Structure 1
Amino acid sequence: GGGPSTPATLAELQQEALGLELPQGGAEFGGAGGAAANEMKYHTVMPATITFFHSERQPFYRACPYEVKDERSGKMRACLKKVEEQGNCWSCAVGHECQTPSARWLTSFAIADHTGVQYVSGFDDTLAKVFGVPAQEFADKWDRKGSDPVALTQVEEVFKARR
């Protein structure tokens, strides 16, 4: 899961990561905290400043909105796999098709605190807070920025405000 964690400095997180080891000969992944190989670690670094991100690349992806059953909860949820435009519709790797995909934040960027600098990945809910705008609203402006000077200015402002 990815809930809130106790704030730490980048140096503390980097020190914790030194204990991580790559598996040898089929052994289970282990190390500090006994993390499994497919386990995601979520951290809170406060205060931190975004020092760099690629403003020339779109910081979102287009996701499949098709409703599928969640294997863990049994409830319905959006597929959310990346979609590609296929003629007059969008299609994901599973074969779902839609006319209008949903945009979701996804990007990597550098953050810094008083102890160092680290590249991190950010995802939809967190980046909506960081950028101050829902991904779909930003994606609509991103798509128009080549032909609409107002949209271009709005995209640039989102990036400038985060540097």
Structure 2
Amino acid sequence: MAKNSLRDRVDGNELDLSLSNLSVVPVKEIAALKKANHLDLSCNQLKALNDIFSTSLTHLVKIDLSKNQLTSLPHNFGSLKNLQHLDVLGNQLTTLPVSFCQLIKLKWLDLKDNPIEEPLKTVAGNCLNDAECKKCAQKVRKCKCFMLSGV
């Protein structure tokens, strides 16, 4: 995906790449668009994110990865130091990386419709509304239980 075509998809501070049939995230091109700190990658064909995703996109405040096929998040996902809102609804995540506890600004998290393993599943809760997603972010960020999964 060319940088110019990405620039055309920026609206205010949001870059909308949803429904783009992406199997790979164009990280370098996205990183060049610093003004776009909200990234929508929902409804694509993503199965994995590479480590460069987390280290190159540290300016992101909001990421929507919902309705993809992600089985895990990069081990260095905690490098997204400005991340406040994360939607990973409807993927294949079973756990979260240990670095997740470094997301100290995270205020909203949706893990629904993922085969999350215990004890993380209990800690995360159902997240059926905005208030529960806020609680989920707070509880999961503080919980070290996902470290038990060996990730």
- Interval of TM-score (by shorter of Structure 1 and Structure 2): under 0.3
Which structure features the higher share of helix residues?
2
The higher-RCO structure (CA 8 Å, 6+ apart) is 1
TM-score, structure 2 normalization: 0.24
Greater per-residue strand proportion: 1
Normalising by structure 1, report the TM-score. Answer: 0.23
Structure with the greater alpha carbon radius of gyration: 1
